[in-house]
Structure 1
Amino acid sequence: MKKAVFLVLAMAAFISVFAMAGTASYATGLSNTFGTGLPTYGWSMENSQGYVTGFQGINPLLGYSAKYFFSPLKFNSWNTYWGWGTILLILPAYVSIGTDYVGKDGIYFGASLVNLVPTFEMGVMY
Structure 2
Amino acid sequence: MNRIITGITAIFILAAASSCCSQKNTVGKEQQLSEKEVTGTITAIENGKDGYMATIADNKGKTSIVTISIVNLQKSGGTFKRYAIGDVIKAKGEVWKDDTGTEHITARALTQIK
Q: Calculate the TM-score normalised by the size of structure 2.
A: 0.32
State which structure, 1 or 2, has the greater radius of gyration over its C-alpha atoms: 2
Determine which structure has greater relative contact order: mean sequence separation of CA pairs < 8 Å that are 6+ residues apart, divided by chain length.
2
Instruction: Decide which structure has greater strand share.
Output: 1
Q: Calculate the TM-score normalised by the size of structure 1.
A: 0.30
